[in-house]
Structure formats: C-alpha cells, structure tokens
C-alpha cells in the first residue's frame, strides 16, 4: 500500500473477496525524496495508507527495503544513465523489489496471495497463468509487469485491473477512504522534487559534462549539457535550430557525444532485446506479436525471433527509434507473452542474423 | 491478545479511571479560576502533585506537570542550558538515551553547544571513567537515563551524580520514564537535580508527565503563556490526566517492590526458556542490572519487522527495539552503542511485562515464538539484511 488510491482499493477489494488481508507499505528510500509531498515514501503517504488500513480494519506494516532498493533500482538507474541508456526504474522495482523481495516476504508470512494496485489482470487457463492487459486500456500497466513468470503469477493478484480509474475512485469514496481523490503520482519516487536532471547531475557527474552534438556524419551542430540528460528519440530541448526537426539517434558515453539526425534517419526496422523473459516460455522460436517499446506507446505488429536470452524484433513497418535501456513488451491480443530490455536498434531492411545486432554499443 | 509491550505503554488501572472520571465533567473547572468549580480542580491537581512527589521522594513544590515524558526531557535539557552561564555550554549525555533526550541534545548541538555522547559497555551500562574524563568547568548539564527503554538496563545513577558533583558544577538530569513503576525511585537518594516521568508507563493516562526539579535548580520555561506550574509550564493543566497520574503513582509505588520480584522471576524464566528453545538467540543487557519485566533478545537470521508481523497474526503484541512513532526501521541506536552488529540488531525483539502479565503462559508463548522463528528462518529472503 503506497498511500495512493489504487493500492487502497486493491486492499479493499481483496477484503471484499473474503481474504484475511494485511496491508504492507514498502519503505524504499531514506534520502531526500522521502520528504517529497508526492513521494510514496513520505510520512504523509504512510499516514494515508495507515488510515486506509484502519478504515478497512486490517493490520498494517511498513517493511524496510531501502537498502535493497538502493542497491538494485537506484544503482541500476544511475549505471544505465552513465552508459548512455534510458532506464525504466519501475520495471526494475517490480523485478527486484515488489515481485522478488516482497514476494519472498509474502511467502514467509504464509500469505496465499500478494495483491498490488497495478492495473493488469491475470487468469489461469489449463494450469498456466496468463498476464493480461487491464480492462481500461488507458490505465494499463501490464507493460511494467512483463517479467512476471509462472512462479510469481501464482501468487500475484491485481484486483484493480478489472476496473476503470473512475470506478476505483468511486469505490474508494463509497468506502470513505481518504485517498479517493488523491492525484496521480507521476514522478519517480526516489527523485527529490521530481527533478530528474538534478538527480542525474548528482549521481552521474561524468554524464553531466557538456560535449558536442553531432550529425551521423560527424558534423558538430551544437553543445549538449551532458549525455546522461538525453534520450534517444528526443526532439525538444536540443538547443539547435537548422530549420528541420532533429532527433537524438545515439548517445555515446564513450566520447560524451550526442548524435542527432533528421526524421529520415529516425525510423528503424528492427531492435534487439536483451534479458528476455516469458510469462509461460516462448510460444515458438519465431512468432508474431504486437510489441510495445514505450509505456503507453503504440502497439506495433512485429516478428520476434528468440535467441538464447535475447531476441530480435523486426517491425512490419519502420518505427520511431526506441531508446536503448527502455522496455519492449510482446503482446498477443490482450495477453502479455514476455519482454526484455531494448539493446541496440538498427535500420537494415532485412532482419540481422542472430547476435549481430548486439555489436553496437549498448549495455 | 498476549500483551508484551509494557515498556511502550500500559493499560490504565481501574483505580486511575475511577479517580479521573469526576474531573472530566463534575469538577471541570479551570484550576486557575477562583470559584468553587475551579477550586475543586485545583485541589485535585495539588493532591496529585503530592502523590507524585511522595512516589518519587520529592517535595510537592518540586513537581512540574507536563504533557508527557518527552516534554519533561525537552524542558530539562533546553531549560537548563538556556539558564546556564553562556560560557558553560557543554552538555554530557549517553549514546543510549531515549530520542526525547538524544534529539534534544542534538538540537542543542546545532544551537552551538558542545555535546558529549558517552559510550556504554556490552550490557548498556555507562562508562564512568569516560564520564569523569569528559567533565569540565564548562559542563552545565549531564543527562543520564535511569533505565533504558529498549533493553531495560539500569544506570549507576548515584555514582554518576557523585562523580559529576565532585568534579563539576553541572546539574544532573535523568530520564526516569522507564524507571517509575518498575523499580523504586527516590530522587533524593539518587541525588539528581531533575528527572522526567510519564504517567502512561505505570498505568496512568497518555499525554501526562512530570519534571522533578530540585529546589533552586534554575531552568527557563519552554512554553510561554499564562505562567502555570510556577511559571515553568504555561497552559491550562490537564487536570483529569494529572489526577490519573497521581493515582497511578500512588498505587504503583505501593506495589512496585512486591511486583518487581515476581516480574523479575517471570522475565528470567521466559529468558531461560527462549534461550533453550531457540538456537542462536542472544540476550541484550542480560549481565547488567535490569528493570524487572523487560527482556530484549536478538534472534539471528530473522528480521524484527517480520517477527512482529507474524507474532501479531498469532495474537502476540511485542516490539522490535522501541515503539517510536517515527517508524524509522533503522537498527536500534541502543543496540549499536552496545556493540551489537547491525545485522544482528535487525532481529531484535523486546518483550516487556507489567502488572497484567503475571499470569503469562510462558510455555505457550515460547512455543509460538519458536514456530514463528522456525518459519521465518526456513525461507531465506532473496536479500538478507545487511549492514548499512
């Protein structure tokens, strides 16, 4: 329970389903962000969550995962930026904290299930658990849960995924929960005051030194404020005007260079995906899927070719270049098949041979 | 529910509730008012002052009522330093104090005071040589707790006072919140100049406390207003609460000696059974003098939070370290100061017993605890708690 409306209602719905519910709040951060008004580790958030637990008449505990969070999610975040990549800390948190460290505790406490406030759904068909999109596509969070396997899904429950956000707020209000009208938190919970640039500047000093912005031919167009402050695909905030829209196509941490190009070079045919996992194993070595490469981005038809713990995704039509370090998730209809971390991206018309795509600089 | 957290708070005694009741409605007057209703309230207030004074071996005029132990500690530390000669801005305290003292001392440090935090030994007992060595002509205040809230160890306060008085002109304050009601407390015999007390630790209501202030000890008030409590603590007194405190102090003073023997016996039996039933358990402060009824152990390989959660689900109320509202979940500063390793301190459990614990089913409790520990140890979490 984060002190937000979704996890509040998740607890309420589980109780309504007849479960003997215990509320758990994760204390993830001991730095400055803990005092953020919006931060999920703030005292206000803890008080809100505790009050919801009181109203629902369930026990409430705060578990300290600050060390684990720092050594996994925050370290990963800074290492990725230092390598010129764009990490997704929410995915890392689900992988290392919520559905690892917390799930272990749930087992330890003899819990039958672990419910969270994520907008997603699960079901079980022929003894196999499936991870499905939320009923309301606009709120769907199955993207950040792709790493869940059978072992995790056996315990995981996402009760709010059956509802729309307004319905969740209505349920919260009808139960008299004080979190009913709480605004959505958008910021990363561990970044003080939502100032990601300041946080990166502090944590990744080597990526916060000005350097050249160049074209793919090497022509210098301007100066950037530090490579770690840019994302592949970014158009705004480059500070250069050449009359045409320019996009970041590559971030080179090795020589502190940001490469830009016009929209012509912006699209790619395929991407390589690393550390791939599947909800129930890969369907076939090569399969068609709808692939998402951005949270709440479009779903794009593609062919996924699995190779060891990596995969090559070849799009049916060229796509705007996704940012290495971000997450690619494979869907079939509303079902999550699996996903991984985006490595290199390419423009070759033909799918590259296995392994080839990973020669370009990437983590 | 098996309640084993008397060091956190206690249920109010029946006698206390009965004594307080008339002051909620019948004698509702403001004790500063001159008419009959006010006089009744004032009478209740002064009777309570006499009872508290008698329970701690003080004169009634030496008792200043506050809104709790924390306020009494704040008033003592900040009030004494504010009155001290500006050239004598040195404060000595220990590293195992309650946060009411520790954080007040740290606040004084930020105001420009020099503060010495004295070390303790493995049993949580203050090092008297270190005390002697740290005293100087600039020392204006020494604050040493009577009994520790987490492990229950009792400090050699009389020796502390002797050393301080022999080597300096400093006043001595003691946070006696965990002493009163558990062991006989006599401020005269201890020789301290100030002492803080809280009613709810001995069967009284929450939100009521007192500062014992020896005659001629100068402190500056920290709350300004109507000048109640001999100008030292402004604000309309919490008459009903103070009356309850008086009754709790009176009853517990009459019971403390006899009950202490029984509680110490119970605590020792519980300790013995736990140590024999559960492998890899260490007792904190077990070799020093302790208040009866308090037992602190570290259980290797389990996390305190998980332990409490599992015990709670089985109807056992206990605590890990102290029950402060901060929810800091950091390893206890007391155990750290006693030289306990951080990963060991994460598995600390405090079982504290009081008036209602004498019928405790030790066998059933130890059985429950063994089961919970075995369960927690059987599943190794992906991340073991490590030193941070």
Judging contacts by C-beta atoms under 8 Å, the chain B residues touching residue A65 are: 383
Does residue A46 belong to the interface with chain B, where contact is any CB pair within 8 Å?
A: yes
pLDDT score for A28? 87
Pairs from B79-84 (Cβ < 8 Å, separation ≥ 24): B79/B219, B79/B220, B79/B221, B79/B222, B79/B232, B80/B140, B80/B141, B80/B171, B80/B173, B80/B194, B80/B217, B80/B218, B80/B219, B81/B108, B81/B113, B81/B140, B81/B141, B82/B219, B82/B220, B83/B218, B83/B219, B83/B220, B84/B140, B84/B141
ipTM > 0.95, yes or no: no
The answer to whether the Cβ–Cβ distance between B375 and A110 falls below 8 Å is yes
- Chain A, residues 238-297, CB within 8 A of chain B, namely none
pLDDT score for B320? 86
If you average pLDDT over residues B363-387, what whole number do you get?
80
Residue B141, classed as helix, strand or coil, is strand
Q: How far does A313 lie from chain B, in Å, by closest CA?
A: 32
pLDDT at position B322 over 90: no
The answer to whether the Cβ–Cβ distance between A109 and B305 falls below 8 Å is no
Residue B386 buriedness (CB in 10 A; 0-12 / 13-18 / 19+): exposed
Phi-psi region of B90 (alpha: psi -120 to 50; beta: other; left: phi over 0): beta
Q: How far does A307 lie from chain B, in Å, by closest CA?
A: 28
The answer to whether the Cβ–Cβ distance between B309 and A62 falls below 8 Å is no
pLDDT score for B381? 63
Catalytic-role residue among B18, B324, B364, B374: B324
Per-residue pLDDT for chain A (363 aa), expressed as one digit of tens each? Answer: 999 999 999 999 999 999 999 999 998 877 554 445 445 567 788 889 999 999 999 999 988 888 899 999 999 999 999 999 999 999 999 999 999 999 999 999 999 999 999 999 999 999 999 999 999 989 999 999 999 999 999 999 999 999 999 999 999 999 999 999 888 877 788 888 888 999 999 999 999 999 999 998 999 999 999 999 999 999 888 877 777 889 999 999 999 999 999 888 889 999 999 999 999 988 899 999 999 999 989 999 999 999 999 999 999 999 999 999 999 999 999 999 999 999 977 765 444 444 443 333 333
pLDDT at position B384 over 60: no
**Could you please report the per-residue DSSP string of A217-271?**
T--EEEEES-GGG--TT--TT-----SS-EEEEEEETTTTEEEEEEGGGTEEEEE
Alpha-carbon distance of B228 to A197, in angstroms, equals 53
pLDDT score for A224? 94
Alpha-carbon distance of A341 to A324, in angstroms, equals 8
Q: How far does A66 lie from chain B, in Å, by closest CA?
A: 10
pLDDT score for A199? 93
What mean pLDDT is reported for chain B?
94
Read off φ and ψ for residue A276, nearest 5 degrees.
-75, 140
What's the pTM?
0.85
pLDDT score for B331? 82
Alpha-carbon distance of B309 to B315, in angstroms, equals 10
Q: Is there a contact between A130 and A122 (Cβ–Cβ < 8 Å)?
A: yes
Q: How many CB atoms neighbour CB A170 within 10 A? A: 14
Provide the terminal-to-terminal Cα distance of chain B, rounded to the nearest Å. 35
The answer to whether the Cβ–Cβ distance between B382 and A109 falls below 8 Å is no
pLDDT at position B248 over 80: yes
Question: What letter would DSSP give residue A109?
Answer: T
Cβ contacts of residue A304 below 8 Å, gap of 6+?
A: A273, A286, A287, A288, A289, A291, A311, A312, A313, A330
pLDDT digits (tens, 9 = 90+) for B56-111: 999 999 999 999 999 999 999 999 999 999 999 999 999 999 999 999 999 999 99
Query: Among residues A94, A96, A88, which one has the least CA distance to residue A71?
Result: A96
Q: Is there a contact between B368 and A96 (Cβ–Cβ < 8 Å)?
A: no
pLDDT score for B330? 74
Does residue A155 belong to the interface with chain B, where contact is any CB pair within 8 Å?
A: no
Does residue A109 belong to the interface with chain B, where contact is any CB pair within 8 Å?
A: yes
pLDDT score for A39? 53
pLDDT score for B325? 37
pLDDT score for A359? 37
pLDDT score for A118? 97
Judging contacts by C-beta atoms under 8 Å, the chain A residues touching residue B313 are: 22, 59, 109
If you average pLDDT over residues B220-232, what whole number do you get?
97
């Amino acid at each position: 329970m984060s002190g937000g409306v979704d996890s509040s209602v998740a607890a309420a719905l589980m109780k309504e389903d007849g479960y003997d519910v215990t509320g758990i709040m994760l204390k993830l951060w001991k730095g400055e962000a803990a005092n953020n008004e919006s931060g999920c580790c703030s005292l206000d958030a803890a008080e809100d969550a505790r009050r919801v637990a009181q109203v629902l008449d369930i026990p409430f505990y705060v578990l300290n995962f600050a060390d684990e969070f720092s050594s996994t999610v925050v370290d990963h975040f800074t290492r990725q930026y230092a390598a010129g990549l764009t990490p997704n800390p929410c995915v890392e948190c689900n992988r290392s904290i919520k559905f690892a460290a917390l799930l272990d505790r749930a087992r330890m406490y003899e819990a039958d299930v672990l419910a969270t406030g994520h907008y997603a759904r699960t079901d079980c068909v022929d003894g196999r658990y499936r991870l499905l999109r939320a009923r309301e596509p606009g709120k769907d969070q199955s993207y950040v849960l792709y790493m869940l396997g059978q072992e995790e899904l056996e315990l995981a429950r996402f009760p709010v995924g059956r509802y729309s956000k307004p319905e969740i707020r209505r349920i919260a209000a009808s139960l008299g929960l004080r979190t009913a009208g709480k605004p959505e938190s958008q910021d990363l919970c561990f970044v003080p005051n939502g100032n990601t640039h300041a946080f990166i500047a502090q944590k990744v000093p080597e990526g916060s030194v000005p350097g050249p912005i160049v074209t793919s031919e090497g022509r210098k167009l301007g100066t950037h404020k530090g490579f770690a402050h840019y994302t592949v695909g970014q158009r705004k905030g480059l500070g250069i005007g050449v009359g045409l829209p320019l996009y970041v196509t590559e971030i080179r941490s090795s020589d502190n260079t940001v490469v830009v190009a016009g929209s012509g070079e912006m699209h790619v045919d395929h991407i390589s995906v690393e550390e791939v996992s599947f909800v129930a194993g890969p369907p076939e070595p090569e399969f068609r899927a709808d692939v998402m490469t951005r949270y709440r981005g479009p779903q794009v038809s593609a062919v996924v070719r699995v190779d060891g713990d990596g995969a090559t995704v070849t799009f049916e039509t060229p796509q705007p270049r996704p940012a290495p370090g971000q997450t690619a998730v494979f869907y079939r209809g509303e079902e999550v098949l699996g996903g991984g971390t985006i490595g290199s991206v390419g423009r070759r018309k033909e799918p590259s041979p296995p392994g080839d795509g990973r020669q370009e600089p990437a983590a | 529910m098996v309640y084993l957290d008397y060091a956190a708070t206690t249920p109010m005694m029946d006698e206390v509730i009965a004594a307080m009741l008339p002051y909620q409605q019948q004698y509702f007057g403001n004790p500063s008012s001159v008419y009959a209703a006010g006089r009744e309230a004032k009478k209740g207030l002064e009777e309570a002052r006499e009872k508290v004074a008698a329970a701690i071996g003080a004169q009634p005029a030496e008792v200043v009522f506050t809104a709790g132990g924390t306020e009494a500690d704040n008033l003592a530390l900040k009030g004494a330093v504010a009155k001290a000669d500006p050239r004598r801005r040195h404060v000595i305290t220990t590293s195992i104090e309650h946060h009411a003292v520790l954080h007040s001392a740290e606040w004084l440090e930020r105001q420009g005071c020099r503060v010495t935090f004295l070390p303790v030994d493995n049993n949580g007992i203050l090092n008297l040589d270190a005390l002697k060595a740290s005293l100087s002509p600039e020392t204006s205040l020494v604050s040493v707790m009577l009994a520790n809230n987490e492990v229950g160890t009792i400090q050699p306060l009389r020796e502390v006072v002797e050393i301080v008085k022999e080597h300096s002109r400093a006043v001595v304050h003691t946070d006696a919140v965990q002493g009163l009601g558990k062991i006989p407390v006599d401020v005269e015999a201890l020789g301290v100049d100030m002492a803080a007390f809280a009613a709810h630790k001995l069967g009284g209501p929450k939100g009521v406390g007192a500062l014992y202030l020896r005659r001629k000890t100068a402190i500056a008030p920290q709350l300004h207003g109507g000048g109640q409590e001999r100008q030292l603590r402004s604000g309309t007194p919490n008459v009903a609460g103070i009356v309850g405190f008086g009754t709790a102090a009176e009853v517990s003073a009459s019971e403390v000696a006899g009950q202490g023997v029984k509680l110490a016996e119970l605590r020792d039996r519980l300790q013995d059974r736990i140590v024999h039933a559960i492998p890899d358990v260490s007792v904190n402060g077990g070799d020093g003098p302790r208040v009866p009824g308090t037992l602190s152990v570290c259980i290797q390989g389990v996390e305190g939070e998980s332990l409490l959660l599992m015990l709670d689900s089985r109807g056992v109320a206990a605590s890990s370290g102290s029950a402060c509202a901060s929810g800091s979940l950091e390893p206890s500063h007391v155990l750290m100061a006693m030289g306990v390793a951080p990963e060991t301190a994460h598995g600390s459990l405090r079982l504290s017993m009081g008036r209602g614990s004498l019928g405790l089913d030790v066998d059933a409790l130890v059985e429950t605890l063994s089961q919970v520990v075995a369960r927690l140890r059987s599943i190794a979490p992906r991340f073991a708690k490590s030193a941070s």
